[in-house]
A and B are shown apart, each in its own frame.
Chain A
Amino acid sequence: MQSSRQLFKTVLGQRFNSTLVIAEHNDKVLAKITLNAITAANKLGSDVSVLIAGSNSKAIAAEVAKVTGVKKVIVAEDAKLEHQLPEAVADVVVAAQNQFKFSSILAGSSSFSKGLIPRVGGILNASPISDVTEIHSADTFSRPIYAGNAIAKVKSTASVKLMTIRGSAFEAAAATGGAGAIEDSAAVDIKDHGSTFVSQEIVKSDRPELASAKYVVSGGRALKSAEKFELMYKFADSIGAGIGASRAAVDAGFCPNDLQVGQTGKIVAPDLYIAVGISGAIQHVAGMKDSKIIVAINKDKEAPIFQIADFGLVADLFDAVPELMKKVGK
């Protein structure tokens, strides 16, 4: 039986649970994964704040204040935050932590927060937990290890729970219905940490974002060339899908790096994942095996992808894909 003192501590602990979510955005658009992170934050405790750091973030702040489950929005605006380099943003997060003493700080698992959250951990001397897929309590979480071939349940005793959460493991919070208070962050003296933004090349497309698309079509080595990989873009557009690729296709130069699905690329869990000409190496499967329905199209009947596919079609992709487009495409 719990002693009354322990019980008292537990109750107090729950009452004062407070979580800070770091919003991801580009000063124009809020990244959708922030909504998944807000859902995860609400599973930890009752008091959820969101930090928006940028050079021009007022509009984003107003948008986030309306998200269901957000109690407070903290806005840090500074020209030095223009490109949101992790060195500068970490200064703002640490200042917010010193002011409000959050019990947890989390963000959606993306290249932005993978750079930021552990840096904050290094400053605050707290061990972060990466890519959380399940929240059991305010200090106990599950996360995949070994390319998703094992799931570790861990308990954190860190002074502040720093986490990145896997977007596909949590529903997006409703973008409306909330009424969070917006306030400016305390003034932060952002230091020069010796890093400078030079340039960015973002691939522009009208296709649904890979990480949050309802359907994803993904191409592998069997596409043979960059020219032939064009078929995958056409296929994606014809069914309104996001587009992905295996490492083999990326390494062979058929498509850009940021399309890679897998352990070290993007993790997706769409309603439908169509793997085209992909053998199904452990590292690729790690990035898509939580998809609701998996379809594999491959010439090789022995390809490991067929072991996890709900529906497997043994066929030449250059015949099957155009036929499929004709039958279900726009």
Chain B
Amino acid sequence: MRILVGVKNVIDYAVKIRVNPSKTAVVKDGVPHIINPFCDNALQSCVDLKASKTIKEITVLTVGPKSSQTALRTALAKGADKAIHVEVDEAGAAKLEPLHVARALAAIVKRDKYDGVFLGKQAIDDDCNQVGQLLAGMLNWPQATFANKIDAKDGGFTVVREIDGGLETIQVKSPAVITADLRLNTPKYATLPNIMKAKKKPLETIKPADISLDLVSQTETLEVNEPPTRKGGEFVADVDELVAKLKEKGIFA
């Protein structure tokens, strides 16, 4: 099987983000970026399936500005075979919607013929949780979202999914879209020799026009604000004082 994996370059989850003074976006310049953790899970599952000979070739794709190539290089160092960068300028990248990314993936799927697309369940910056499902809808492929376990079976996949209240197992025929949840696996680090080798792996850069990618906005961000801050609370000395304070607020009264 040949699998396409979407990866996104996002602000490191450990960074406390700040809204810019003009309230149009969060500050991204000079802030450390990483591969979105869920993309890392998706990639790791492909690397594992390649080790068990189920997958023959892994291609990673990102849509974004030049700086997002670091995510592709990291993915190559972690075991992807080749990379595709759909390059948009900074201004265009700020207006990218999950729909646009799904269209880019769909265009590359049609161009290069893959047996499946693996993605993270959501990006930790926009928190949308949409790209995989949008893509599956566009391609009319089956979807297995929030995967906790993936087994290749009968030319398709058996996927255990994390759902509200428990777990669900479904079977999807290939080609399918699968999105990874956190507990799918523990992504491995790229080793230095592999980072060096990754520099020689193929990375194709294409422009949106090359794949007739429609990037017309359907969602306009009017403003971005800091959320209301919670007023600092107080320490209580013991359980008795805690119970008394809660009763004052009408709880356990």
B152 to chain A, nearest CB (A): 15
Contacts A146-B127, A263-B127, A289-B230: A257 and B183 contacting too (C-beta < 8 A)? yes
Interface of A (DSSP majority class):
mixed
B42 nearest CB across to chain A (Å): 14
Asked if A310 is at the interface (CB within 8 A of a chain B CB), the reply is yes
The answer for the CA separation of A264 and B134 in the assembled complex, in Å, is: 19
Closest-CB distance, B102 to chain A (whole angstroms):
6
Question: CB-CB < 8 A to B219: which residues of A?
Answer: 127, 129, 154-158
Total interface residues on B, using CB and 8 Å? 84
Interface members, chain A 276-330 (any B CB < 8 Å): 282-283, 289, 293-295, 301, 306-315, 320, 323-324, 327-328
The stretch that binds B, out of A37-45, A175-183, A197-205, is A197-205
Which residues B158-211 have CB closer than 8 A to chain A? 158, 161-173, 176, 181-183
* Interface flags, B122-148, vs A, CB<8A=1, else 0: 101111111111111111111111101
Select from chain A the residue with minimum beta-carbon distance to B130. A118
Residues of A within 8 A of B138 (CB): 122-123
Instruction: Tell yes or no: A100 within 8 A of B by CB.
Output: no
Given the interface pairs A127-B98, A202-B165, the reply to whether A118 lies near B235 with Cβ below 8 Å is: no
Alpha-carbon distance between A288 and B232 when the two chains are bound, in angstroms: 16
A112:B164 contact, CB within 8 angstroms:
yes
For residue B93, CB closer than 8 A to chain A, the reply is no
**Is B52 in the interface zone, CB < 8 Å from A?**
no
- How many residue-residue contacts, CB under 8 A, span A and B? 255
- Contact B171–A122 (Cβ < 8 Å): no
A residues near B (Cβ < 8 Å) are: 85-87, 90, 110-112, 114-123, 125-131, 140, 144-158, 193-203, 211, 215, 239, 247, 250-251, 256-258, 263-264, 266, 271-272, 282-283, 289, 293-295, 301, 306-315, 320, 323-324, 327-328
A111 CB contact (under 8 Å) in B136, B162, B183: B162
A256 CB contacts on chain B under 8 angstroms: 166
Complex partner residue of A283 from B13, B19, B220, CB under 8 angstroms: B13
B227 touches A122 (CB 8 A): no
Q: Which of A128, A202, A272 interacts with B246 by CB under 8 Å?
A: A272
Q: A258 to chain B: closest CB distance in Å? A: 6
State in angstroms the CA–CA spacing of A147 and B145 once bound together: 20
Closest chain B residue to A24 by CB distance? Answer: B164
Pick from A151, A155, A294, A323: contact of B227, CB below 8 A: A151
- Given A272-B251, A324-B243, the answer on whether A195 and B13 have CB atoms closer than 8 Å is no
Nearest chain B CB to A235 CB, angstrom units: 13
A122-B134 CB under 8 A given contacts A264-B121, A293-B249: yes
B165–A203 CB distance below 8 A: yes
Closest 4 CB pairs of A and B: A122-B137, A194-B173, A118-B133, A195-B142
Contact residues in B for A157 (Cβ distance below 8 Å): 217-220
Within the complex, what minimum Cβ distance (angstroms) separates A159 from chain B?
8
Chain B residue numbers with a CB within 8 Å of A283 are 13
Contact (Cβ within 8 A) A146 B17: yes
In the complex, which residue of chain A has the Cβ closest to the Cβ of B99?
A127
- CB of B164 within 8 A of CB of A258, answer yes
